[in-house]
Amino acid sequence: MNEGTLFVLSAPSGAGKTSLVRELRSRTKGFSVSVSHTTRAQRPGEQHGVDYFFVSRETFEAMVGRQEFLEHARVFDNCYGTARATVDAQLASGSDVLLEIDWQGARQVKQLIPRCQSIFVLPPSREALQQRLQGRGQDDAATIARRMREAVAEMSHYAEYDYLVVNDDFETALQEILSIVVSTRLQTQRQASRNRALLRSLLVD
């Protein structure tokens, strides 16, 4: 069976990556989104095993010790990690997999799986980013200021990625990401594997 492709998507907090990923899943077949483990508190409306696997710090550190993560990082005083066994199984089944992770995790994944396709999403401006963070209504001014500083630090790593998308208009940004996925699926090696019978009938007398 043809192995799937691993896609890595990163963006600063407030750039809209969660909404983009949610819509990408609904519009694309043959796509699995890996659910990360995290030590942060579960937010209203989030579901365990759907948005994240919410675990204790002790459980997370034990998984790190057993080298169970493809990547892991500490962000905003919380830990996040992607279980390698889950990703490997999804790719082996022929499914494409999307990781929604920060630059630290993306760098680790690229070292272990160099063939992955990485995408960075930018906001259209600093002002728009700050408005989006304030519009959530979940954080105080000090937290928003800290998130803005972290966002600038995150965005400074954009050049480490294969593709760069600006989320000014949501639908345009979504279509650009979809185009990256489709073009990857049309690469000769994947298409040849998928269409062996057709190629044989066309080329063999």
DSSP conformational letter for 34: P
**C-alpha span between 191 and 205 (Å, rounded):** 21
CATH number of this structure's domain 6-34+96-203, picked from the four choices 3.40.1160.10, 3.40.50.300, 3.10.129.10, 3.40.630.30: 3.40.50.300
CA atoms within 13 A on the CB side of 150: 19
Label residue 32 by pLDDT band (50, 70, 90): confident
Q: List the one residue out of 118, 122, 106, 137 whose CA is nearest residue 12.
A: 122
Task: Using DSSP, state whether 85 is helix, strand or coil.
Answer: helix
Sign of the Cα torsion 114, 99, 147, 55 reads: negative
Output phi, psi for 10, to 5 deg.
-130, 155
Rounded to the nearest 10 degrees, the angle between the axes of helix 170-185 and helix 17-27 is 50
> Over the stretch 41-59, which tens digit does the pLDDT of each residue have?
999 999 999 889 999 999 9
Contact yes or no for 32/98 (Cβ under 8 A): yes
pLDDT in the model for residue 34: 84
Quote the CA–CA distance of 10 and 82 in Å, as a whole number.
Answer: 14
Q: Would you list the domain boundaries of the chain?
A: 6-34+96-203
pLDDT tens across 69-112, in order?
999 988 778 999 999 998 999 999 989 999 988 998 999 999 99
Label residue 30 by pLDDT band (50, 70, 90).
Answer: confident
What's the pLDDT at 1? 58
Distances (CA, A) of 190 to 70, 89, 96, 149: 24, 18, 12, 41
- Map residue 68 onto helix, strand or coil: coil
Q: How far apart are CA 180 and CA 185, in angstroms?
A: 9
User: Quick one: pLDDT at residue 199?
Assistant: 95
Backbone angles phi, psi at 191, to 5 degrees: -65, -40
